[in-house]
Structure 1
Amino acid sequence: MSCGCVGISHAYVIFGATGNLAVTKLLPALYQLHCAGYLADDVEILGCGRTPFTSETWRAEVRQQLLARDEVETVALDNFVQRLDYLAGSLKDAAFYQSLGEWIGNDGECANNVIFYLSISPDLYVEVTEGLAAAHLLEESQGFRRMVIEKPFGHDLESARTLQHSLSEHLKEEQIYRIDHYVGKEAVQNLLVLRFANLILEPLWNRHHIDHIQITHAETVGVEGRANYYDHSGGAVRDMIQSHLLQVMALLAMEPPVSLEAEALRNEKVKVLQSIRPVDLEQLEMYAIRGQYAAGEVKGQPVPGYLQEEGVAAGSHTESYAAMKLYIDNWRWKDVPFYLRTGKRLQERRSLVAVRFKQPPMQLFQGSGIYQPHPNWLLIGIQPEDAVRMEISAKVPGLEMRTRQIVMDASVSTPGERKAEAYEELLLDVIKGDRSLFLRYDEVKAAWVVVDPVMQRWAQDEQLPLQYPAGGWGPKAAEKIFGDSGRAWRHTLSCNGGE
């Protein structure tokens, strides 16, 4: 991240400032923006929460939490915490919003521009918005009022519509920033650069040359401290596929936008999402698989099954693993399958995109002994490796015409180079008013249209999700969505990883 002050006076108001997201992501990101000179000198950050902190005790708490992290400079940290202030109160109390209005009104130039970050339960989004509106804190008279909303935006299509209707009564669409931190990852943003800054790929990026595309997000952790939320409001489809993985799919499949301006970029993503073929519910097991982790071992340590996790309801049908096969019905991608999967308690922590190209015509090698060359793969690591690899066939030295797979490997980052965290990029974009990496409502709606029928059908199924042992790669039945195509899941970036 290069240094350079944005120079926009504003106040950042964080609801849920003592929660896990604010502590582990938002405040560290704001600290890094402070260190890099991206926050104007008079920017103030107000934490709001139920914990009865004073401003002094909250500053001390934040200072201690940030000191426990790597690469913290004490002088910069001391300057940063002076930006912090705290307001305790109940989000259900009108007096709280009156006090908030008084704080904003006394904030000098920053009072004109305010960013509200809702780091709270989605159930409270409407209530907080109505409280702010009743106190006239969302009105844009001399500057801007922006609201950042964490996912999930609704828990299904109908609730997303209801939430949008409620918010739009008090906010214009351009005031709403629906954040998806996954899209803020540098490796995900690099998909745009790979697609549109390298002419070598564009002629091949279509149904004539690509056999299929896999998008994987695998975790070794379980539900950890989120069991109650995950079991009632989450699940693998809601938590990852509806938001993160469909966004990656849209970036991979979109047509070149006329510019990187926010609306041009989001228009192309919406076209992709709206072109996804509805899943055939009569043959659902060929298009979507769900599973739950059972007891097993991860990295040599025994771990309980999902149903044994504290906070998970007895007999819960919530899936911790999901895989889907989707098709995009447009000229570029007709009949090219996109395979999306995500799961908890899997063998490795890994996010990757694997693009398999079609086999070349075989006439050239008839009689040479080469009957089945390895397919070409383009592999894009998102985490933990941030890398791009291409697998191609080459001749084995010797008198016989035999081939082997070789790898062209390029690390995206150089040793010692600091990578910006996703929230740093996204919080800075909110300050600048750049909405290109934030979700528009029609994007959210189109993504729910894709997954909602599948979730509804699963909700009617009385059978438990397929069980898979923790520490593996999910239920074996997940291979069914490949049919008899000869395809298989690609687990790693290593040569022939998983095939």
Structure 2
Amino acid sequence: MSCCGISHAYVIFGATGNLAANKLLPALYQLHCMGHMAEDVEILGCGRTPFTQETWQIEVRKQFVESGIAEDASLDSFIQRLDYLSGSLKEAAFYQSLGDWIGNDGECANNVVFYLSVSPELYVTVTEGLAAAQLLEESHGWRRMVIEKPFGHDLESARELQHSLSDQLKEEQIYRIDHYVGKEAVQNLLVLRFANLILEPLWNRYHIDHIQITHAETVGVDGRASYYDNSGGAVRDMIQSHLLQVMALLAMEPPVSMEAEALRNEKVKVLQSIRPVNLEQLATHAIRGQYAAGEVKGVAVPGYLQEEGVAAGSHTESYAAMKLYIDNWRWKDVPFYLRTGKRLQERRSMVAVRFKQPPMQLFQGSGIYQPHPNWLLIGIQPEDAVRMEISAKVPGLEMHTRQIVMDASVSTPGERKAEAYEELLLDVIKGDRSLFLRYDEVKAAWTVVDPVMQRWSEDEQLPLQYPAGGWGPKAAEKIFGDSDRAWRHSLSCNGKGSE
């Protein structure tokens, strides 16, 4: 759906930061190239750096060319959309100047996107500044605000943030962006679930043994150690937001439609049905770790505590794994294992669904006493693929089996995949909030992880140490208990279902 006919303006707070330079502006450029912007759309960058319109245009052009975007007519016309306003976000004069700019922006002034690419501590400051200048009023069009996670650092701060925002904005004006949900591979989970009837009869506790959701990174906290150590940690950074969102998409019931509220209603039901973690058995339900010095891809790297900007003796976890249950009719007693970590062996995000064994071993005495379980494997990054592992007979006179893989790549060679921010920014203009988080989703997710983080904050012991370049602390295997389950690290078939 093209948005060519919708006149609007983008106002990016924190326009000189990394997010704007690496994600937002390139995404807007792609929308421009694909014809999803009306001719009169303008993009205003706001920041403390004293750029003029001309110097910011020069800076953005330089960034684009250095990143591999060719200088051509498309880039020239995009650059002409850019304007800049410098000032302090804490001063009323800045918002007065912003109001003057919007008021002089012709038809675009009716519809404005305010994108807060700034520190979360400034969300309320900017919102109150805009409200005081009457820039959030929707008398002649719409005003929409996009905020990045984290939405608070715990349940209480999330409530306070929501209270402050709701004083100035209607809920339908707030777009809480989770770029992970915007990835095409994550959205493909909905298509796999609801466009393929072959899976629906099996998608329940009667046929699925367990589900693993993994986000593994080879990088450390490069460039953001201070922020990560003070307000981050693996649970806040990945599990509370990204991985619980993936879990909700995997576990939700079919919505009555793909409209935003219908879709989000079903996700909220899942999140609200997650069984509280048993704090008396925390060691078998939640594991935290911290990377020590080691080698990643043959390169020596320091441990977390040696990273510049990390406080001495920090207890911030760079690895976390949780075992969660959904107490509803479909998923009762099926464990969902969520894990994320930095400085691991490979960069990989994936979902691994293991199915139960057949109720009877029909091939006993014929060399097939313990057949391998079936797996459905969904690659999110870097591989975007769907694979199914099944057992098949080895050709010959003997009754022997081997695992074979049914492999389906989601994209074809040479086919361009849209970046998450491209679709999400386009959805803001269309007013489609289906891929954005509603407050009750945020609240339910914090309710899941808050008790665990609180208990860990009271623990004087350092997180479990694991050498960089491995797959995390060995104790993470304890999360499976006495079962024959194990972490699935790869999409590749190795005959065992785990590596």
TM-score, normalised to structure 1's length?
A: 0.99
- What amino acid does structure 1 have at the position aligned with 2:33? C
- Rounded Cα–Cα distance in structure 2 between residues aligned with 1:172 and 1:412: 38
Q: How does 1:155-304 map to 2 (within 5 A)?
A: 155-304=153-302
Paired AA for residue 420 in structure 1: A
* 1:408 paired residue number: 406
Aligned to 2:335: 337
Displacement of 1:421 in angstroms is 0.2
In the TM superposition, residue 476 of structure 1 has moved relative to its aligned partner by: 0.2
Distance 1:150 1:445 in 2: 16
Residue type at the aligned position of 2:203: W
**Unaligned ranges ≥5, structure 2:** none
The answer to which of 47-56 and 71-80 deviates more is 71-80
1:328–1:334 CA contact under 8 A, matched in 2 = yes
- Partner Cα separation in structure 2 for residue 375 and residue 382 of structure 1: 22
- Aligned ranges 1:480-491 → 2 under 5 Å: 480-491=478-489
Name whichever of 394-403 and 21-30 sits farther off. 394-403
Please give the per-residue CA displacement for 1:256-286, whole angstroms capped at 9, x wherever unaligned. Answer: 0000000000000000000000000001001
The alignment status of 1:78 with 2:76, answered yes or no, reads: yes
Alignment-derived partner of residue 492 in structure 1 = 490
Q: Distance in 2 between matches of 1:495 and 1:181?
A: 30
Q: Contact 2:3 / 2:429 at 8 angstroms: preserved in 1?
A: no
Looking at structure 2, the residues matched to 403 and 285 of structure 1 have their Cα atoms a distance apart, in angstroms, of 38
Q: Displacement, 1:498?
A: 3.4
The runs of at least 4 aligned residues of structure 1 exceeding 3 Å deviation read 70-73, 496-499
Return the offset for 1:34: 0.1
Provide the C-alpha distance between the structure 2 equivalents of 1:390 and 1:327, rounded to a whole number of angstroms.
24
- Other structure's SS at 2:489 match: coil
**1:78-477 aligned within 5 A:** 78-477=76-475
CA distance 1:123–1:5, change in 2 (3 Å): closer
How far has the Cα of 1:71 moved from its partner?
4.8
Counterpart residue identity of residue 223, structure 1: V
Amino acid in structure 2 at the alignment position of 1:90: S
**Separation in structure 2 between the aligned mates of residue 207 and residue 418 of structure 1, nearest angstrom:** 37
> 1:401 offset after TM fit, Å?
1.0
Contact 1:288 1:324 in 2 (8 A): yes
The answer to whether the 8 Å contact 1:257/1:264 transfers is yes
Of 386-395 and 357-366, deviating more is 357-366
Q: In 2, are the aligned partners of 1:292 and 1:321 still within 8 Å (CA)?
A: yes
CA distance in structure 2 between the aligned counterparts of 1:432 and 1:363, rounded to whole angstroms = 54
2:7, 2:41 within 8 Å by CA — same for their partners in 1? yes
How many residues are paired up?
497
Q: Mind listing any 5+ residue stretches in structure 1 that lack a counterpart? A: none
Equivalent residues of 1:362, 1:371 under 8 A apart: no
- Residue identity matched to 2:392: A
**Deviation sequence 1:365-422 (CA, Å, 0-9, x none):** 1332211001000000000000000000001112211111000001000000000000
Secondary structure of 1:178 counterpart:
strand
Please report how far the alpha carbon of residue 5 of structure 1 lies from its aligned counterpart in structure 2 after TM superposition.
Answer: 4.4
Q: Secondary structure at the match of 1:353?
A: strand
* Maintained 8 Å contact 1:29/1:424: yes
For residues 416-448 of structure 1, give each alpha carbon's deviation from its aligned partner in whole angstroms, at most 9, with x where no partner exists: 000000000000000100000000000000000
**1:112, 1:87 → 2: CA distance?**
19
Report Cα offsets for 1:318-352 as digits up to 9, x if no partner. 00000000000000000000000000000000000
The residue identity in structure 1 corresponding to 2:425 is L
The letter for the 2-side match of 1:130 is E
- Write out per-residue CA displacement over residues 297-322 of structure 1, whole angstroms, 9 at most, x where no aligned residue: 00000000000000000000000000
Question: Which residue in the other structure is 1:43 paired with?
Answer: 41
Taking the aligned partners of 2:69 and 2:352, their CA distance within structure 1 comes to 34
Cα deviation, residue 73, structure 1? 5.0
Q: Secondary structure at the match of 1:463?
A: coil
* Amino acid across the alignment from 1:498: S
How many angstroms apart in 2 are the aligned matches of 1:190 and 1:349? 20
> 2 CA distance for matches of 1:108 and 1:264?
36
Contact 1:389–1:407 (CA under 8 A) maintained in structure 2: yes
